[in-house]
Structure 1
Amino acid sequence: MAAVHKYFMAPDPGRVRLRVSLRAVLGIALAVALAELSGLSLVASITAGLAALLALFTVADPSVRRQAVTTALLPTVGFPVLALATLLHGAPALRDAAWLLVIFAGVYARRWGPRGHALGIFAFMQFFVTQFLHALPAQLPELYAATGIALGAAAAVRFVLWPIERRVPPPAAPAPLPGTGLARATTRQAVQVAVASGAALVIGQVLSEQRWYWAVGTVWWIFVNTASRGETLVRGFRRVLGTVTGIAAGFLVAIPLGGAPVATALLVAVCVFGIFYAAPVSYSWMILAVTVMASLLYGLLGVLDGALLLLRVSETVVGAVCAGLAVTLVLPVRTHTTNDAWIQRALLCVRSATSASVRRLAGEEAADPTPHAAELEALLGRVRLSLAPLVHPLTPFLGRKQRARQVLVLLDEAAAEVRGLVAVAADPDASHDARLAAACWRVEAAVEALTSREGAAMELEGHLRADGEAHAGAPALVHARGLARVLTELDAPLRTPPGAWMVRS
């Protein structure tokens, strides 16, 4: 019950998550309705609905213009992959090899940011959909038509009928961690996903010659939005948990329903809402909604039964195990290295936001701390994801969990101080306190010590005591001093040897 309460009561500033979820239901319903009115088959209508879902779910560029461009580019990868998958339907060996190449390329493309990420997912899912629907070459023209209708409907709803992002621009996703060759996380992941998918494909086909693709799909989605071994293992656990609970719901809902069109359509709409509403806060709840939706679609296709749902669980477990082994044994990306990189980027962003705020208060009109504050929020989201393996309820390393939680609490406090400082800097009537320069120096010195590991951070405690009361002075000074204090307190948990609190590889 606590998990349910947390899911439904999660913060939703501006009701953006609610509105995005309702818009997704509208966009997908419009795509399916247009496909039906065009006289397309049930398979094509389902293809339209899934294509619209992907267009609305995966395109996450930081500006509306870039979102529109990415949406327009989806057919450039989707149509060739759709043709490849259907034309190779009767040649299993070539089909499997082609899909592994698509998988590798789709993950490799993540190095190009949100656009590469979205195009890679769309390409993968177009291949997946043809397996899910057992599409044949003769159906290719109407599948193209359905996908085109879906993308048009999704674009119309997103950019014309309900342009939420024009009023509330989404925060820019942090750029991938740097590196070249096999030192780049996206390259390593591309190899890992290809290896894991190959193993899942083989084992999945042993379990079922018809539904083997669920194991491959599990591998793919476990690796989405992860960057280290620990993150991937936690995602795998949540994938299995969400699938098992979704299958249980499928037994209670989808099987008794028996594919009744109207009731199924309404419940699919509820599942679509759940997918979008849950995605930002709970991966397990999102997968539960996906699993129930898939069960309902199987009911529409007339192939749903208890054995099929149990097979889905088996294929999911196979995919999760293959993903876990690959991320552990094949070019592993150390969790500590990833954690450290994201935390350092967040700390450097704190320094930039503080410096820009102080310069703005000093009268420098060109100094704008707002972009730095927005970047900090996105980076902290990435830090939370990176540290998730350490604070997971089932982690056996209690000391590491405690320190990881301490880091998260202190970083949240730092973000709150930065938000306060930025708000003061945005006030044209705010005054500049001469002591701000000294406070800003302390923040910069603390960040330098924490990111260079030179041991200077502990000296800041003496400076803070010598400076007098931390809560005296103008609001900007209070926030700057508070920020320096928080950064000083971060010294202990961040300087603890990696093996003592972070997953060591």
Structure 2
Amino acid sequence: MLKRVFVAPDPGRARLRFATRAVLGIGLAVVVCGLTGQSLAGAVTGGLAALLALFTVTDPTVRGQAVTTALLPCVGLPVLAAAAELHDHPVARDLTFLAVVGAGVYARRWGPRGHSLGVFAFMTFFVAQFLHATTDQLPALYAAVGLSVLTAATVRFGLWCYEHRLPPTAVPAPTAAGGLARVTTRQAVQATAGAGFALVVGQLVSGQRWYWAVGATWWIFVNTASRGETVVRGFRRVLGTVLGIALGLLVAVPVQGAPVPTALLVAACVFVIFYSAAVSYTWMMLAVTMLAELLYGLLGVLNPALLALRFAETGVGALGAVLAVLLVLPVTTHTTTDAWIQRALRCVHTCTAEAAARLAGSATADPAGRVAELEQLLGRVRLSVAPLVHPLNPMLGRKRRAHRVLDLLDDCAREIRGLVTVAADPEASHDARLAAACWRVETAVEALTDGDASHLTATSARPPAEPALAHLHGLERALADLAEPLRARSGSRLVGA
């Protein structure tokens, strides 16, 4: 698991820059809150606002990211006001919280911006419960949110703006025009039902920390699109929480909120959250759990009993999410898996075409940017296929086929990265054979995505000596080998029923 996080491919060191910039942005936001006289509660609120501004905003253009970042307080501040106003009215507070859950998930239908605003709204209500916010604290908390989002934006768009164009957030495409057939609508209903279960049972477990259970349900639903994905994500959340609690007993409890070591550990947790998010949900949850423990240490309430309560509430939240996706309007795994595999294959073709154009002398071709998009899509494929390759999956045939698909897609990505590296060499020249090889790649992708790959066969010819042609030869071979595991018994399902 450690190797998966720190040895996983990181093209352009995107994850490293993402994590390092997050530490800088959140750290500066907390410092600004301190310099302006904010209390500890204000600093915590501001730090969370900066974290969300840097973590959840994933519009495909820098301009779009800036607009979404500017809209975050417009959504968050009214929600914060509602949470504070309803602090002493439990029934109204709970119903409002569930409404925020449903609206936040439903907002994913509007793409990356809807997703970001939905997450920010939910977490604003959540932090109000964490801090027991009341109306007399609202002016200070408003200031903390505004200053922190502004500071994070200054870092992201001023001091360290490395994005030019990013692939869109992995939000599942709707399966129909509207109604309950739309995936985001079904997920909103599921999330609300799961959060309702977590809220009721969580309050029976603890009248003070019940919101942990609702938070667990919410985050299990984020970026999942099927019942299989949600079940696996729930398991990984519980595992990450258990590991984080164990580490907290060894680190956070002995520190007991001492300012300097706590600040250093918080920075380390933020780095791991951002660095591991794309490759390991378990590691991310370990870091999130540690971060929460350190914050409770600063508030002076951290002890082993609190950690045991966190484990119990996380289990309640995970159970609520699992029951919801199994019993309420379930979305099958293959529905989303097929779509993500096809999207990844089309991106393989696009990467190949961009690299070939660069080798032909085009100054506008951007194969490196397409490789980053391919890496994100392959990460989404792995998430979607995770239920099929899980060790507890008893369907061995499907497990083998899914493993084979993942291995061959990784082969495709490796050949694409090599081809793009060759294309980046200013001395590399275009070979006339590249056009023919690219055409064969295009044909293979079309056959795989159209479900008519029966004629594809792996080439047995010796790989060419030229680097670009050698990578294209390897890519052709991987695509041809994909035909057998992707050949669906039902015609429309790439990895089985």
Asked if these proteins are the same fold (TM beyond 0.5), I'd say: yes
Distance 1:338 1:301, change over 3 A: same
Q: For structure 1, which segment, 370-379 or 355-364, has the greater mean C-alpha deviation from structure 2 after superposition?
A: 355-364
- Bigger mean CA offset, 94-103 vs 38-47: 38-47
Residues 240/72 of structure 1: CA separation in 2 closer, same or farther (3 Å cut): same
Give the structure 2 partner of residue 272 of structure 1.
270
Q: Aligned with 1:490: secondary structure?
A: helix
Amino acid of the structure 1 residue aligned with 2:429:
A
Residues in 2 aligned to 1:131 and 1:273: alpha-carbon distance in whole angstroms: 25
* Residues 439 and 27 of structure 1, relative CA distance in 2, 3 Å threshold: closer
In the alignment, is the contact (CA less than 8 A) between 1:274 and 1:286 conserved in 2? yes
- In structure 2, relative to structure 1, the CA distance for the partners of 1:409 and 1:287 (3 Å cut) is same
Distance of 2:473 and 2:24 partners within structure 1: 48
Q: Does 1:404 align with 2:429?
A: no
Among 22, 29, 32, the residue aligned to 1:31: 29
Offset at residue 318 of structure 1 (A) = 0.6
| Counterpart position of 2:92 | 94
Structure 1 counterpart of 2:375, which letter? Answer: E
- Determine if contact 2:172/2:225 at 8 Å carries over to the other structure: no
Equivalence for 1:105: 103
**Aligned twin of 2:446:** 448
Separation in 2 of the partners of 1:502 and 1:303? Answer: 49
Instruction: Indicate the residue corresponding to 2:456 in structure 1.
Output: 460
Greater Cα offset, 440-449 or 424-433: 424-433
Q: Residues 172 and 336 of structure 2 are in contact (CA less than 8 Å); yes or no, is this contact kept in structure 1?
A: no
Q: Is the 8 A contact 1:442 1:460 kept in 2?
A: no
Aligned to 1:488: 480
**Aligned mates of 2:233, 2:283 — CA distance in 1:** 12
- 1:131–1:498: structure 2 CA closer, same or farther, 3 Å change rule? farther
Amino acid of the structure 2 residue aligned with 1:139: Q
SS in 2 for 1:61: coil
Identity %: 64
Look up the equivalent residue of 1:57 and give its one-letter code.
Answer: F
**What is the aligned partner in structure 2 of residue 295 from structure 1?**
293
Alignment match, 1:497: 489
Asked if 1:344 corresponds to 2:336, the answer is no
What is the deviation of 1:39?
A: 2.1
| Closer/same/farther in 2, CA of residues 487 and 266 from structure 1, 3 Å limit | closer
CA contact (8 A) 1:20 1:164 kept: no
Contact kept? 1:249, 1:292, Cα under 8 Å: yes
SS where residue 324 of structure 1 aligns? helix
Amino acid of the structure 1 residue aligned with 2:484? A
Q: Distance in 1 between matches of 2:484 and 2:345?
A: 15
Distance in 2 of aligned mates of 1:288 and 1:54: 18
Q: Deviations over 1:417-443 (max 9, x none)?
A: 44455566676863442x556544543
For residues 494 and 7 of structure 2, what CA distance do their matches in structure 1 show?
Answer: 31
User: 1:204–1:447: structure 2 CA closer, same or farther, 3 Å change rule?
Assistant: same
How far the C-alpha of 1:481 sits from its partner, in A, is 4.1
Q: Is the 8 A contact 1:400 1:501 kept in 2?
A: no
The amino acid of 2:113's aligned partner reads R
| Aligned counterpart, 2:184 | 186
Q: Does 1:22 align with 2:20?
A: yes
Question: Amino acid of the residue matched to residue 456 of structure 2?
Answer: L
Q: Which moved more, 1:440-449 or 1:316-325?
A: 440-449
1:46 aligns with 2:48: no
Alignment TM-score, normalising by the size of structure 1:
0.88
Distance 2:398 2:268 in 1: 39
User: In structure 1, what residue type is equivalent to 2:457?
Assistant: E
Which one is further off, 231-240 or 404-413?
404-413
Give how far 1:44 is off. 1.5
Q: Which has the larger displacement, 39-48 or 334-343?
A: 39-48
Matches of 1:21 and 1:461, distance apart in 2: 42
Distance in 2 between residues matched to 1:247 and 1:381, nearest whole Å:
27
CA distance in 2, matches of 1:21, 1:361: 33
Give the equivalent residue in structure 2 for 1:383: 381
Contiguous gaps of at least 5 residues in structure 1: none
Q: 2:203 aligns with which of 202, 205, 208?
A: 205
Match of 1:224 in 2: 222
User: What residue number does 1:262 align with?
Assistant: 260
> In 2, are the aligned partners of 1:172 and 1:378 still within 8 Å (CA)?
no
SS in structure 2 at match of 1:116? helix
Distance in 1 (alpha carbons) for counterparts of 2:358 and 2:13: 31
Q: Whole-Å Cα distance in 2 between the matches of residues 300 and 83 of structure 1?
A: 25
Cα RMSD after superposing both structures: 2.9
Give the alignment of 1:110-149 within 5 angstroms.
Answer: 110-149=108-147
TM-score of the two chains, using structure 2 as the length reference: 0.90
Q: Is the 8 A contact 1:357 1:425 kept in 2?
A: yes
Instruction: Tell me the alpha carbon deviations over residues 211-252 of structure 1, each in whole angstroms, 9 at most, x when there is no partner.
Output: 100000000111111111111111101100111111122222
Looking at CA atoms only, which structure, 1 or 2, has the larger radius of gyration? 1
**Cα distance change, pair 121–452 in 1 and its aligned pair in 2 (3 A):** same
Which residue identity is paired with 2:67? V
Measured in 1, the distance between the counterparts of 2:7 and 2:430 equals 39
Q: Structure 1: how far apart are the matches of 2:357 and 2:278? A: 35
The 8 Å contact of residues 242 and 284 in structure 1, kept in 2 or not, is answered as yes
**Residue pairs, 1:360-375, within 5 angstroms:** 373-375=371-373
Out of 317, 320, 323, the position equivalent to 2:321 is 323
Residue type of the partner of 2:487? Answer: R
Retained in 2: the 8 A contact 1:390–1:503? no
In 2, the alpha carbon distance for the partners of 1:184 and 1:138 equals 41
Structure 2 residue 213 is the aligned partner of structure 1 residue 215:
yes
Shift of 1:379: 2.1
Alignment length (residue pairs): 493
Matching residue's letter, 2:52? L
- Summarize deviations over 1:363-383 as a string: whole Å, max 9, x none: 888877666555433322221
2-structure distance, mates of 1:26, 1:360: 35
Distance across 1 between alignment mates of 2:205 and 2:495: 37
Q: Which residue of the other structure, out of 57, 66, 69, is the alignment partner of 2:67? A: 69
Cα distance between partner residues in 2 of 1:121 and 1:47: 15
Is residue 335–residue 503 contact of structure 1 (8 Å, CA) maintained in 2? no
Question: Which has the higher mean CA deviation after the structures are superposed, 48-57 or 422-431?
Answer: 422-431
Q: Does the 8 A contact of 1:259 with 1:301 survive in 2?
A: yes
Q: State the Cα distance separating 1:56 from its structure 2 match.
A: 1.6
